[in-house]
Amino acid sequence: MLTEIVPNLYLLRLPLPFALNHVNVYLLRDEQGWTVVDAGLHTPAAEATWQEGLAALNINPQHIHTIVLTHFHPDHFGMAGWLYQHSGATVFLSPREIELAEEVWIRRADHDDPSLHHFLRHGMPSDLVKQVVGAIATLRAATRPHPPLTPLLPGSRLTLGGRSFIAIHAPGHSDGQLIFYAPDEQLALVGDQVLLKISPHIGVWPESEPDPLRKYLASLAELSTLSVTLALSGHGKPITDWKTRITELQQHHQERLAAMLHAVQNGAETAFAVAQQVFDVERFTPHEARFAIAETIAHLDMLVADGLITRHTAEIVRYTP
């Protein structure tokens, strides 16, 4: 699906093979050609959708001069190399996200994935852990080929499609995620930091910096001060009531923290056991299960840091009131 959102700014919706079945990428036109913001997951279906979108806009791939990635997750990073091969465009990503992309998508291809130990330590059954690691390997393959990456620093001012944007560090969903704010138009390209109908995933992974949920909530508080009349996100429809949606996300995480505290108080000792009380884990795919456990760990870590529960670190990480 291709939609012109505002003049010279188009949304292209690419398919994903998950319950969340699409990702939004954006194409911005200027006098020199085109900028792409985010790229999609590299699958045959996404390739076909890209080709249809480029044809609909009469874009020769070599007209694409810039590719900007909000973060390294595979549904945003995955097709950057394919686009680079066809266009030769400069591919920008924040320094921290470059580190993460190199660690997760390149170096781990030749070594045991630390996700195996990570999820086992948090109580996930070994058969499910093996499925999860297999799912991650499949995603790693869907990020190839990898493009050369140029660092984009938080705070940078850049012109995308003739519009002046500020790159804002928006951590939590991913350590070094950048979103892009055009104050003159009160327009924001917000990656996965704020979504309209679902809560962005905030999880702890082997590569994560500490306490991502606290960082996410702090980021939301800062972002709520921006004047935004239109926010374009990585999934779902545009957001037109910015402050209300941020308030809803803040409330969601307070409720989730309370639910997980209640689970620990009622005897759930591992992150997997807590997740079983809060989510319908038994019905989840391995892809969904890993997100549920990672999100549970993030909330439990914040409860530990706030002194509301205690973490006991041994072969299996356990939590008590």
pLDDT digits (tens, 9 = 90+) for 258-313: 999 999 999 999 999 999 999 998 889 888 999 999 999 999 999 999 999 999 99
Mean pLDDT (whole number) for 76-102:
98
The helix or strand, by DSSP H or E, that contains position 188, with its residue range, turns out to be strand 187-189
In a domain, 180, yes or no: yes
pLDDT in tens, 103-128: 999 998 767 789 999 999 999 999 99
DSSP of 263-309: HHHTT--SHHHHHHHHS-GGGS-HHHHHHHHHHHHHHHHHHHHTTSS
Confidence of residue 14 (pLDDT cuts 50, 70, 90): very high
In a domain, 28, yes or no: yes
Q: Which residue has the higher pLDDT, 137 or 255?
A: 255
> Residue 61: which CATH number?
3.60.15.10
In a domain, 318, yes or no: no
In a domain, 296, yes or no: yes
Domain with 75, as residue range(s), is: 2-312
Instruction: Please give the pLDDT value at position 287.
Output: 86
pLDDT in tens, 194-250: 999 999 999 999 999 999 999 999 999 999 999 999 999 999 999 999 999 999 999
Exposure letters 98-127 (e unless 16+ CB within 10 A, then b): bebbeebbeebeeeebebbebbbbbbbeee
Q: How far is CA 113 from the centre of its chain?
A: 20
Express as a percent the part of the chain with pLDDT over 90. Answer: 93
Instruction: Please give the pLDDT value at position 111.
Output: 73
Q: For the chain, how many structural domains are there in total? A: 1
Q: Which two tokens stand for residue 27?
A: 């194409």
Q: Quote the pTM value.
A: 0.96
In a domain, 319, yes or no: no
In a domain, 320, yes or no: no
Sheet-wide strand order for 150-151: 2-6, 9-15, 22-30, 33-37, 64-68, 90-93, 150-151
In a domain, 132, yes or no: yes
Check residue 200 and report its DSSP letter: P
